[in-house]
Copies of this chain bind each other. A is one copy, B any other.
């Protein structure tokens, strides 16, 4: 996975594209709309990206990278596994509530489906995150903070699925709720379910 370095213009375009997609789905990301949104002409887009797919690809790279870095940071920081999970929940909910436009890109599995390359990229993003989460859970089970009566592979979809679902609902209700607050509540519940002390 190449470590991309994006120019200012490219980042402008990525941001504009993100907003468009979040506002009206993939279908509203047209080169025309994008060029208007970013403030210069359509052909100019092609000076910064080879084609539309490359723009979408860059978006995924861009956000995926950030997420990966953050999770790595969390992994390497101090604290037991359970605490790390908590940090992931908090980070993500805070991040999304501050940048709602990103939500749809991260949740884009359905949208990119007609482009094998993009679809693959989304899949990688997700499985990447999943294996990181699993690593953390495993750590937690070893350090005694996370219950070990359930397999890691069984716990991770619960963690990830619940987060996704909460965010999805927030989006479908037009970002009205206080996502951070929901994150706090969600974590309380997850704590009850994941903490070692809750094993019977």
Contact = CB atoms under 8 A, between A and B. Distances in A.
A124 to B, nearest CB: 10
A119 B168 CA distance: 13
Interface in A7-28: 24-28
Q: How many copies does the complex hold?
A: 4
A195 to B, nearest CB: 9
A39 interface: no
A4 B173 CA distance: 27
Task: Bin chain A's interface residue count.
Answer: 35 or more
A27 B119 CA distance: 14
A24 B119 CA distance: 10
B172 A166 contact: no
Interface of A: 24-28, 104, 107-114, 119, 122-123, 126, 149-151, 154-155, 157-158, 160-166, 168-169, 171-173, 185-186, 188-189, 192-193, 197-200
Contacts of A108: 110
A39 B97 CA distance: 47
Q: Which 4 A-B pairs have the closest CB atoms?
A: A161-B165, A25-B113, A161-B161, A161-B162
Contacts of A173: 123
A26 B110 contact: yes
A27 B115 CA distance: 10
5 contacts: A25-B113, A151-B189, A157-B169, A158-B189, A198-B200
